Amino acid sequence: MMAILPGATIGILGGGQLGRMLALAAAPLGYRVHVFAPEGEAVASEVAAAETRAGYSDEAALARFAADCDVITYEFENVPSATVAFLEALKPVRPGHAALDVAQDRLSEKQFVEALGGRTAPYRTVETLAELEAGLAELGAPAILKTRRFGYDGKGQARIGSTAEAAEAFASVGGKGLILEGFVRFDAEFSILVARCPRGREVHYPACLNVHEDGILSRTTIPAEGIDPGHLDAATALVVRIADALDYVGVLACEFFATENGPVFNEMAPRVHNSGHWTIEGAETSQFEQHVRAICGLPLGPVGLTAPLVEMRNLLGDSSAEWGRILADPTAHLHLYGKRDAVPGRKMGHVTRLLPQP
């Protein structure tokens, strides 16, 4: 495969902060970026050379977009798989639609991972209230009821503390196309980021120890202290198998629960990931530059830490107003995403700190 050389145009489907940071990473390598996003706020477009505002089903707009691009990627996993499949007939799309087909459906995702030897939370599919009640009888409570598609950052899910809460939970998440997950007792949550190039070479970052609040990532620290190194190695090996099975190109992130019996797979994100934002300052090559390198067929970069301890915190809602205090901290690196409305729970930015002691 011929490399896509600097000077070429990278197309990005999606206009959010991940696309923004991809564009910022592409520029120093000499690439031009063209963002395709529906109407609405698209902060990635502010740092791109070109933008197309159209719906993901607008084939005429997609064709014009593809004609201007040399390679195409996406910055979030809810881009319709059909959109990616349409574009693949016109230009290289990396990763391809196969990764979306798996990641967009929680049932497909779990079955795919289990077939590769991974362990997931116990689960049952749910289409009716009777099936939910039967699933709770088998898996017990507490449990989590989730939509099979389009859930993220705690959206599209309901925690069930007892069978008496079943009907309310069932109604709250739409009442169809659901999956019930049994409760997993875990000591910590962590993620593994792997980058894979078109020829199959892979590199992986150190495991990231994550803390969530209300279903949204709050803090990531590296190294992932307190987790059995053997369990981290097992999780990394599984992510590599996932990437190989999908013939994946780009950065792939997978989240896990750390249990006394080993890692339990939670979910995958076929894109750069929030838990990897620390890599901008905290790793020798950021996940965003690494993704650009991978999709363009360039050599992958080194992934070592630049400090003994790296911490990343998300700035949610009006916490982004703390920018003055953060800038006064010599250990802090501030990233604001340019979003206008600081509503509660919205990711407005992040701050990374490089610290001397783990």
Angstrom distance (rounded) from CA 29 to CA 308: 27
Confirm whether 105 is domain-assigned.
no
Number of domains in the chain: 3
Question: Does one domain contain both 219 and 288?
Answer: yes
Q: What is the CATH number of the domain that holds 64?
A: 3.40.50.20
CATH of the domain at 128: 3.30.1490.20
Same structural domain for residues 228 and 275? yes
- What Cα–Cα distance (Å) separates residue 298 from each residue in 127, 132, 219, 263? 46, 48, 31, 32
48 plus 136 within the same structural domain: no
pLDDT at 152: 60
Rounded distance between C-alpha atoms, residue 221 and residue 254, angstroms = 16
Q: What is the pLDDT of residue 82?
A: 94
Structural domain of residue 47, as residue ranges? 9-93
149 and 209 housed in the same domain: no
In the predicted model, residues of the chain with pLDDT beneath 50 are none
- 236 and 268, same domain (yes or no): yes
Check whether residue 166 and residue 212 sit in a common domain.
no
CA atoms lying within 13 Å on the CB side of residue 231: 22
Domain match, 154 and 42 both: no
Q: Tell me, what's the pLDDT at 85?
A: 95
Question: What is the residue type of 84?
Answer: V
